[in-house]
Amino acid sequence: MKTIFTTLVLLVSFSVYSSTLPIKNTLCSISKTDVTPQPTVNKITGLKIVDCESKKLGKYIFIISELYTKKKVSFFNKNGKKVLTTKTVGAPIYLSKLEKGTYYLKIVEKGKVELTQYIIE
């Protein structure tokens, strides 16, 4: 009796749901739309860029925040061209391949995006 009731509830729920879907020569079809989540422009809590330099490794930075999660970091030059993209979770980002100058960093962490300027001297 319980399985019959459950089946009946599911059929009624599906018929109500499917009546709201677009129909295309089939029982029901769902129209394709772009549902790709876009990152929202929010401040990343506690975001800090820590500069380091050593004779052996050259100049490098750490990107840290209150959350210890993966961050995608993109470097753009003054012309807006992406010159470096990396992912990090507390690991250093080595800057030896970048020339001296002003860069814009786009840091993405859990859907939050932070844009900041960074100067390599």
Q: What is the pLDDT of residues 73-105, one digit of tens each?
A: 999 999 999 999 999 998 999 999 999 999 999
Indicate the pairing of strand 58-64 with strand 71-76: unpaired
Provide the pLDDT confidence category of residue 27 given band limits of 50, 70 and 90: very low
Alpha-carbon distance of 70 to 93, in angstroms, equals 13
100 class by beta-carbon count within 10 Å (0-12 exposed, 13-18 middle, 19+ buried):
exposed
Among 14-18, 53-57, 61-65, 74-78, the least confident range: 14-18
